[in-house]
Amino acid sequence: MKKRIAVLASGRGSNFQAIIDAIGAGTIPATCVALITDNPTAYAIERAEKAGIPVKVIDFRSFPSREAYERALLAAMQEARADLYVLAGYMRILGNEVVRAFPGKMVNIHPALLPSFTGLHAQRQAILHGVKVAGCTVHFVDESLDCGPIILQKCVPVLDGDDEDTLADRILEQEHTAFPEAVRLFCEDRLEIAGRTVRVRK
Catalytic residues: 110
Per DSSP, the three-state class of 123 is helix
> Rounded to whole angstroms, how far apart are CA atoms 201 and 36?
30
H or E segment to which residue 157 belongs: strand 150-157
> Rounded to whole angstroms, how far apart are CA atoms 131 and 86?
29
- 150-166 as b/e, with b when 16 or more CB fall inside 10 Å? bbbbbebebeeebeeee
What CA dihedral angle connects 86, 168, 14 and 79, to 10 degrees? 20
> Rounded to whole angstroms, how far apart are CA atoms 55 and 33?
9
Within 10 Å of residue 134's Cβ, how many Cβ atoms? Answer: 27
> Rounded to whole angstroms, how far apart are CA atoms 54 and 98?
21
Cis status of the peptide bond prior to 111, with omega within 30 of 0 = no
SS3 content of the chain, % helix, strand, coil (to 5): 40, 25, 35
